[in-house]
Amino acid sequence: MTTPLKVACIGEAMIELAFEGATPRVSFAGDTLNTAIYLRRSLKAAHSVSFFSVVGNDVFSQRMLDFISDHGILTTNISKHPNLLPGLYAIDTAPDGERSFLYWRENSAARTLFEAGFSALEGFDVIYFSAITLAILPKVVRDGFMDWLASCGKTIVFDSNYRPKLWPDTATAQSSVEAAWRLADIGLPSVDDEMALFSDESEQDVIARLTQWGLNFGALKRGSRGPRSIATESVQQPVYQKAHSVVDTTAAGDSFNGAFLGSYFQNSNIAKALVDGHNCSLKVIAHKGAITPTR
């Protein structure tokens, strides 16, 4: 790709508490922010990645903005709410690296995103969001966003991160996620999330359903087995490296998304993008927290 690409990643940035013994380590993360950071690392400098969200007018929000900016993400489209604060979550990691979360996000500033409309998205080439993005938006804003996407003419990328507690009921989640899949040009689903939300019995059922809904390109994330191509053309399944160390699986899928997209946007080679995304996720799960050090 020779023309500089402008990517908008939309969602909620949160304060992250990761405990090591009794001492918490404070950082910042969020599914679409994590993807934005790994996408930025995967792209050449000519391309740009912007994050769309709302934070507070407090010291932690400013530290969050500094953190995002330090990772090369443009923060022009992150607004400050005068009264609300960012959401917060704590990670508990089991000995095998699997993690569980506690969230304090019900009244986060990010839930006021797009109250002024969607015109700020017009100048971007790629729109990236997730089901978490949709879940935190009030219904009227969510519906307006989906209407805007339907006629925007941009490349739409979607990841169906399914978090049941964020939705009022399963039916609302199903209808919202289905609508997003029907609009998506590039899909980055996780097999576990899709099976949990839509009761598919196998990964082949997941791919068949998504294909029926018009998704013809992307990658189905399958954990340790590595991703599977979703494409109309035949793609030989790559041989993936195995994880040598699993410390913390936080952001495994988000980092895959960023590296996959960065690779594909610049090389137009889905097999290479699958491998690049998988290799990035292996590095992330060998590290505590969502964001690995740059060195």
Residues taking part in catalysis: 254
Cβ-proximal residues to 13 (8 Å cutoff; 6+ apart), any chain: 28, 29, 30, 33, 51, 53, 55, 64, 68, 78, 86, 110
- The string of DSSP codes covering 188-234 is --BHHHHHHHH--SSHHHHHHHHHHTT--EEEEB-GGG--EEEESS-
* Beta bridge partners of residue 156, listed in sequence order: 127
Q: How far apart are CA 209 and CA 194, in angstroms?
A: 10
Asked if residue 110 lies in contact with residue 54, where contact means CB atoms within 8 angstroms, the answer is yes
Angstrom distance (rounded) from CA 263 to CA 232:
19
Q: Are strands 87-93 and 99-104 parallel, antiparallel or unpaired?
A: antiparallel
